[in-house]
Amino acid sequence: MRVVVEVTETRVETPSTITLRFPFEPSTEPGQFVMVWLPGDDELPMSLSYTEGPSKGVTIKAMGETSRRVLGLRAGAKVGIRGPYGNRFDLTPRRVLVVGGGSGTAVLAPAAERALAGGASVTVALGATRSDELLFRERLREAGARVEVATDDGSEGTRGYVTGLASALLEGEPFDAVWTCGPEVMMDKVARAAAPKGVPVFCSVERHMKCALGMCDACALGPYHVCVDGPVFPADRLETTPDFARFHRDPSGRRVPFGSAAPV
Amino acid sequence: MRIFGVPLRNPFLLASGIWGESGESLAGAWRAGAAGVITKSIGAEPRLGYPNPTIETYDAWGLLNAMGLPNPGMGEYPREIEIARRAGATVIGSVFAGDAPQFADLSARIEATGVVAVELNLSCPHAEGFGTEVGSEPADVERIVRAVVDRVHVPVIAKITPNTSDAAALAEAAERGGAAAISAINTVRGLAIDTTLRRPVLAHGLGGLSGAAIKPVGLACVWQVYRRVKIPVIGVGGIRTGTDALEYIMAGARALEVGTAITFDGIGVFARLNRELSERLDALGFSRVEDAVGVAHAPST
């Protein structure tokens, strides 16, 4: 069922990322997503970055035309919300490594908060192109996570990709689970780094979506449909598909190699 | 059982447009118990479809969609069919086009992938220049079907629209053109409006309604078509239980297509439908599906 709500608050998180808060009563869990309709424009799947209470939130990075227009939204704007859809992170592991690449941290933050509130220890490997693009660094620290940073340009923390930081953390200490969200190529590297340690990795996958009901096949990924079988998948399942980290599908259903098509 | 010469392990087919963009999904529907899988309707070129929203959801009674015939195009799609066929699936290829020559050309190209039959989309209710727009006049339907039948060797199925005053006349035209079977029905044209925003919900405006809400419409079409053609009828529209299926069979359907039920029940719906239909047939003393086909037209007292 779709509801049309007014955005109650917008918050610029980084130069390219904005959070929208809106009233949405249904109970939601970390990992789930909603379909957000910008009337007259498009409807996009967005992972919930705030899942508790009557005010939910999404945090989105300006990538394509529509998401760039999201950056221009102000409080009072009307948006359509349907959902929540998809599965959730299993919050039972006690020692969690969270690996967030760019805006992927949006879906990881509420999971980390809930795990910390339940007494788990959470270490975050937070990556971005540069210091001012690090998403939810303070939020995660305030929740009690240990936050380690990697930036592509070295403007904060380790210089380089967050995958290198995550590998180092995995070498240094034991974890019961890794939760990651970011580009599939990044998550694939995280999974390969964790595999020799025997640490299970759970990836939140983003694919082009239309129905979000497991029907239209737009988000088909191997034998899975990201909208109903995911968006959170054990990495070992993703690794058995021919598509993960190699191909996505454009809105026509064509398989397109990563890096060769404009994002939505 | 067999229908138009093609062996089927049960009467339930995956309807076109559902789980049909990727070969792995088609294979998954086959493994879940579908007797055959009908591809997404494929056109000559890749087509993105309409922008979102493409779906309006209701409670359990239906779905309104205007996907806009997205498909990878006949150039790339054969590899998806190949994936499904390698998994052992019985594949029926669905095509859409704007005129008879292009229907014939696409049908020949999809036949070459090894499909057991071709289904012609003469009935999508929301795509300009395609579907209902080329499939609403009996003369057009006859011409298109004949052009395809002249080009391919596999059976040709005409999927007809309910958005017309006399769907059975379309079925008769398809039969005259040489069709081996009729699929009835495609979605029923519909609209949803958001009152707060004072605008249609779907980006395209008009869409097609599917699911339980249209079962009586589909049954009426199958009923009328069964009385006016000799070729087999495939029933589609709102089938979610074994009893729904048996209603269609008693109205005259020899096989069935299932789509929207998957959004409510998952792909496991095929196994459940088969179980429920078998139980219902047994309870009523029918030893085979074929024995129940059309029985509602001549009820015993």
Neighbours of A73 (CB within 10 A): 16
The CA-atom distances, in angstroms, between A57 and each of A6, A60, A75, A181 are 12, 10, 13, 17
CA distance B76 to A254: 7
B124 noted as active-site residue: yes
In this structure, what is the dihedral angle of CA atoms B136, B140, B146, B151, given to the nearest 10 degrees?
A: -90
pLDDT at residue A148 in the model: 97
Structure tokens at A51: 């899942």
pLDDT at residue B57 in the model: 92
CA distance B126 to B111: 26
Residues of A in contact with B20 (CB under 8 A): 217
The CA-atom distances, in angstroms, between B150 and each of A26, A32, A60, B168 are 56, 51, 53, 23
B73–A252 CB contact, under 8 Å: yes
Find the CB nearest B196 among A4, A42, A228. A4
User: Is residue A141 pLDDT above 90, yes or no?
Assistant: yes
CA distance B189 to B64: 9
pLDDT at residue B127 in the model: 86
* B63-72, B122-131, B189-198, B286-295: segment of lowest average pLDDT: B122-131
Higher pLDDT, A102 or B87: B87
Closest-CA residue of chain B to A216: B18
Beta-bridge partner residues of A99: A125, A180
Residues of B in contact with A217 (CB under 8 A): 18-22, 25, 40
CA distance A21 to A5: 10
CA distance A40 to B46: 24
- Candidates B299, B279, B246; CA nearest to B11 is B246
Taking one residue from A and the other from B, the number of pairs with CB-CB distance under 8 angstroms is 117
Radius of gyration of chain A (CA): 17
State whether CATH 2.40.30.10 applies to domain A2-85.
Answer: yes
Percentage of chain A surpassing pLDDT 90? Answer: 90
Specify the number of domains making up chain B. Answer: 1
User: Is residue A264 pLDDT above 60, yes or no?
Assistant: no
Closest-CA residue of chain B to A78: B197
Closest-CA residue of chain B to A222: B24
User: Are A212 and A235 spatial neighbours (Cβ–Cβ below 8 Å)?
Assistant: no
User: Are A6 and A55 spatial neighbours (Cβ–Cβ below 8 Å)?
Assistant: no
The pLDDT-based confidence of B134 (bands split at 50, 70, 90) is: confident
Closest-CA residue of chain B to A6: B196
CA distance B96 to A53: 47
- Selected for mutation to probe chain A from B14, B16, B22, B201 (highest A CB count within 10 Å) is B22
- For A169-196, write each residue's pLDDT tens digit: 999 999 999 999 999 999 999 999 999 9
pTM: 0.94
CA distance A151 to A127: 6
Give me the amino acid identity at A107. Answer: V
Would you tell me the crossing angle of helices B269-284 and B242-251 to the nearest 10 degrees?
60
For residue B203, being part of any structural domain is answered with no
Whether B298 has its CB under 8 Å from any CB of chain A: the answer is no
Topology classification of domain A95-257: Rossmann fold (3.40.50)
* Residues of chain A in Cβ contact (below 8 Å) with chain B: 1-2, 4, 35, 37, 39-44, 78, 80, 82, 210-218, 220, 222-223, 225, 228, 241, 249-255
The pLDDT-based confidence of A261 (bands split at 50, 70, 90) is: very low
What distance in Å separates residue A43's CA from the closest CA in chain B? 5
pLDDT at residue B301 in the model: 59
How many CA within 13 A on the CB side of residue B88?
9
pLDDT at residue B126 in the model: 87
**Tokens 């519909």 — which residue?**
B190
CA distance A253 to B50: 13
The one catalytic residue in B27, B124, B202, B225 is B124
Q: What angle do CA A47, B193, B198 make, to 5 degrees?
A: 95
Q: What is the DSSP letter of A163?
A: H
A80 sits in which H/E element: strand A78-85
What is the rounded average pLDDT of the residues A156-173?
95
pLDDT at residue A67 in the model: 74
- Candidates A96, A44, A47; CA nearest to A202 is A96
Give me the amino acid identity at B3. Answer: I
What is the rounded average pLDDT of the residues B3-12?
94
The CA-atom distances, in angstroms, between A52 and each of A47, A114, B161 are 13, 9, 46
A253–B72 CB contact, under 8 Å: yes
CA distance B248 to B254: 8
CA distance B154 to B119: 10
CA distance A189 to A258: 15
Structure tokens at A28: 């939601």
Q: Tell me which residue range forms the domain holding B174.
A: 2-49+68-188+211-297
Percentage of chain B surpassing pLDDT 70? Answer: 99
Domain layout of chain A by residue ranges? 2-85, 95-257
- Candidates B124, B30, B145; CA nearest to B80 is B30
Beta-bridge partner residues of B208: B65, B189
Give me the amino acid identity at B16. Answer: S
Whether B39 has its CB under 8 Å from any CB of chain A: the answer is no
Ramachandran area for residue A191 (φ above 0: left; ψ -120 to 50: alpha; else beta): alpha
User: Are B53 and B201 spatial neighbours (Cβ–Cβ below 8 Å)?
Assistant: yes
CATH number, domain containing residue B216: 3.20.20.70
The pLDDT-based confidence of A5 (bands split at 50, 70, 90) is: very high
pLDDT at residue A260 in the model: 58
User: Is residue B150 pLDDT above 50, yes or no?
Assistant: yes
pLDDT at residue A40 in the model: 86
- For B203-220, write each residue's pLDDT tens digit: 999 999 999 999 999 999
For B15, residues 6+ apart whose C-beta sits below 8 A from its C-beta are B38, B236, B257, B258, B259
Question: Could you give the ipTM of this predicted complex?
Answer: 0.93
Structure tokens at A158: 């380790």
